[in-house]
Structure 1
Amino acid sequence: MEEQRRGGSGNSGRAFRVLVLLALVLVSVNLRPAITTIAGVMNQVPGAFQLDPVLLPVLGTLPVLAFGVSGPIGPWLARRLGTGPAVALALLVLAAALIVRVLVPALLLPGTFLAGMAIMTASVLVPQIVKANHGSGWWTGLCTMGFGLGAALGAGLVQPLAEAFGGSLAWALAVWAVPALLGACLIQRSGRRPTAAGTPAGKAGSAAGAVSSPQQVAPLRKQRTAWAVTAFFGLQAMLYFAITSWLAVYLVSKGLSSADAAALLAWFSLAGLPASLLAPVLAGRPAILRIMAPGLGLAVALALLGVLAAPAGLQFVMVGILGIVQSAGFGLAMALVVIRSSGPQTAGKLSAMSQGLGFALASLGPLVAGLLHTWTGGWEVTFWALAAEAVILAGAGFLAIRGPVVNVEPVGLLPEPQRRNADDETRPAVVGL
């Protein structure tokens, strides 16, 4: 009877983890369409919503700026509600923002900012839920692939949805509130059940294996690996948002139609889906990670220059290559938050720091790219500047994998396996997912 109870408990735990993973993937799918739907029809926005064209760079920058200022909200809500309910609340706010910003034209800019805050609140908690559930590299990979899938669907379906709604661009953008509501329903209970040896998700690492005299650790802001991970996340995000905000506009300047440019923007995300899935898995292998972390930055730089140099007929190939290496960089950035943290609480705080400060940096991407294009009247300077940034990204990746594991949880309060990871504060080896 005891064995049967244990077997039943194990099956229940596995079923719960599968549900959590499915919920995380659905959440991830919802965290990009609010941005890429607008990016895919940027040239149509002024006419559809009576927006001054001068404000288009601001519209592209607002979501990322919201990411930068709302990083602490996620961990704060998780401490009070639990991670699952906190993510669910963020998705409900996202759904409301998606509807309000297009049905009330005067609220397009404020609604976009609110949508960005909701996205950030949910996004920073994804690595914490992965870490608390002992998720593997496949967990992180599926979540990052969900980000890419959502981005691709948002860009690729906006024009067909507008046609399906009788030419209404507003409804084509607002319809994305429906999957956000579905994601909220599925995720809202995932933070309520114990995830590690009877420890609640929000308090994992505070009970199992505890000792009476926990060792104190340095604050996150004083740990160099945390800053390297933050720099890597911010630089790759800056590149991503600059590209997604202006790629379609650039392609139109090369002679493509608006529909073809939007399709290529969707292709940019679709082409990267396998890379976003596999990058976190491969990152769990230290030998590969040592090459991947700096190598991806150099690959992005070359791909950007390829898009700049290629004629319109080759843009399908070059945009696809850029999508692959850019998505791999995002997958690695998410994986580093999990790999380089000692426990769930550390993962949550490192996620908030890397995404909060990282997206604050990334908010400059669409704005600077747009201003460089406006000032120079062309795209050469913009693409060369982005390529130079990608080289700096390579340096950040090199540093992110060389420092000690990030830890803000007193070592004595960590479960035994996590304590072994955090004990050696000078060890530069990479901890697998």
Structure 2
Amino acid sequence: MRPDDARPSGRGSRLATGLVLLGLVVVSVNLRPAITTVAGVMNQVPGVFGVDPSLLPLLGTLPVLAFGISGPIGPWLARRLGTGRAVAVALLVLAAALIVRATVPALLLPGTFLAGMAIMTSSVLVPQIVKANRGTGWWTGLCTMGFGLGAALGAGLVQPLEQAFGGSLPSALAVWAVPALLGAFLIHRSGGRPTAAPTAASRAASYAAHTSTGAADVFTPLRKQRTAWAVTAFFGLQAMLYFAITSWLAVYLVSRGLAPADAAALLAWFSLAGLPASLLAPVLAGRPGILRIMAPGLGLSVAAALLGVLMAPVELQFVMVGILGVVQSAGFGLAMALVVIRSDGPQSAGRLSAMSQGFGFALASLGPLGAGLLHAMTGGWEVTFWVLAAEAVVLAGAGFFAIRGPLVSVEAAEATETAEATETETTEEAAPPEQATAKATVVR
């Protein structure tokens, strides 16, 4: 073969890789507008959709609750359809939920819950696709930045879109189904390679290979792997802090004397300031020397930034809120990166992602509630901020343990189970006829 003959193949490979990355970024951008669009027009929802104002807190909580219970759906769907197709199906469901909840007022709450489930299903598979394609920290960084960009676009464009559609809020909410459909098309075409569970024969071969190296005795179920729980704790604690901050920061700033419009602008600044950090944190985490400092250091930095927002004069809140946005977004970027870095294969990354995001978002749903209760009980914000800072210190501890210990592995454990099952079947087939007949009689 001439050298020139190999070039198209190389270009094709780079093009395919670029399409996978593009699909992942578009998917990531779609995983927040369903939440932030409604949050940005919450005061209009009762009049437009006929929702009882007392149900508005439930409307804000439903997506997080959906996150907490739907984590296992992603890996289950990926084993049957392939990861890319599973994400595409989830985005199609997201698009349908966005349209239905906007056009049928009675389905606003169920549609929001369904959208949250679709978002979670897609979200847990993003690290699995990154791992399967041997993506670098830049891949994870671009995806986490896509999350933040989607949140900012959803909150910032909903009112201009409403005006563009002649004052129709349902149209401004439903139009976000279009980028969801685009994401489904891109990830289906470029990330659709199957990631179904290996066959019994391949798992048995994997088990035999591990046994020959003496590693068979280290296979441990995911729920018993300390690294998995440390990564889950890190993800959950940073998510709890994020939702508590975004739910109450503007209210706190108004209590300090800022106008509501200025407080809302600072909340938007909190998200925008963190975009570069969410991109760079996974890249830096790929360097072991930096990771050893970053994992616990970010928790301590969030604690310091929270106390800075509490104690700084109003004139410095722009700076302090910006710093808080940087370290908080870096924490999310690192949480996503840890799922990739601390797993030993694509399936392990998918299962760890489901575990960390499932349990993590269930824990995160307590953040806004807990912060609000502390404020109501004390009548001020000092205790709330000090408790959140203490939680950030615990986050530092979780980061410390997340980067130590063995990598998370489920492929090996599944290989062990399948090999044992295969060995049992083989033994039964080789048994004398009278023994086989006796066993069959017992089964009947």
- 1:193-235 Cα offsets, whole Å, 9 max, x none, are 4xxxxxx54458968x957444441111111000000000011
Structure 1: 5+ residue stretches without partners = 194-199, 415-433
Is the Cα contact below 8 Å between 1:57 and 1:367 reproduced in 2?
A: no
Is the Cα contact below 8 Å between 1:156 and 1:265 reproduced in 2?
A: no
Q: Which residue of 2 aligns with 1:430?
A: none
1:143 to 2:165 alignment: no
Q: Which residue of 2 aligns with 1:276?
A: 278
Would the alpha carbon gap of residues 41 and 369 (structure 1) be closer, same or farther in structure 2, given more than 3 Å must change?
A: farther
User: How far is the alpha carbon of 1:68 from its aligned partner?
Assistant: 0.8
Amino acid at match of 2:61: T
Would the alpha carbon gap of residues 48 and 353 (structure 1) be closer, same or farther in structure 2, given more than 3 Å must change?
A: same
Q: Which residue of 1 aligns with 2:403?
A: 401
2: CA distance, partners of 1:139 / 1:8: 24
**What SS class does the counterpart of residue 407 from structure 1 fall into?**
coil
User: How far is the alpha carbon of 1:158 from its aligned partner?
Assistant: 2.7
Taking only the aligned residue pairs, the percentage that are identical comes to: 80
1: CA distance, partners of 2:312 / 2:163: 31
Greater share of helix residues, 1 or 2?
2
2: CA distance, partners of 1:218 / 1:58: 39
Q: What aligned pairs does 1:24-423 form with structure 2 within 5 A after superposition?
A: 24-193=24-193, 200-202=194-196, 210=206, 212-215=208-211, 216=216, 217-410=219-412
- Bigger drift between 401-410 and 231-240 goes to 401-410
- 1:309-331 Cα offsets, whole Å, 9 max, x none, are 34444332222111100110000
Is the Cα contact below 8 Å between 2:23 and 2:191 reproduced in 1?
A: no
User: How far is the alpha carbon of 1:365 from its aligned partner?
Assistant: 1.4
User: How far is the alpha carbon of 1:190 from its aligned partner?
Assistant: 2.8
Would the alpha carbon gap of residues 309 and 301 (structure 1) be closer, same or farther in structure 2, given more than 3 Å must change?
A: same
Q: Which residue of 1 aligns with 2:424?
A: none
Is the Cα contact below 8 Å between 1:83 and 1:190 reproduced in 2?
A: no
2: CA distance, partners of 1:163 / 1:263: 20
TM-score normalised to the size of structure 2?
Answer: 0.84
User: How far is the alpha carbon of 1:160 from its aligned partner?
Assistant: 2.7
Amino acid at match of 2:365: S
Would the alpha carbon gap of residues 183 and 223 (structure 1) be closer, same or farther in structure 2, given more than 3 Å must change?
A: same
- Bigger drift between 269-278 and 381-390 goes to 381-390
User: How far is the alpha carbon of 1:403 from its aligned partner?
Assistant: 1.6
CA RMSD of aligned residues (A): 2.6
1: CA distance, partners of 2:168 / 2:370: 31
Is the Cα contact below 8 Å between 1:156 and 1:263 reproduced in 2?
A: no
User: How far is the alpha carbon of 1:133 from its aligned partner?
Assistant: 0.3
User: How far is the alpha carbon of 1:3 from its aligned partner?
Assistant: 4.5
Q: Which residue of 1 aligns with 2:21?
A: 21
Structure 1 or 2, whichever has the larger Rg, is 2
TM-score normalised to the size of structure 1?
Answer: 0.86
Q: How many residues align?
A: 408
Is the Cα contact below 8 Å between 1:61 and 1:367 reproduced in 2?
A: no
Structure 2: 5+ residue stretches without partners = 417-444
Amino acid at match of 1:119: I
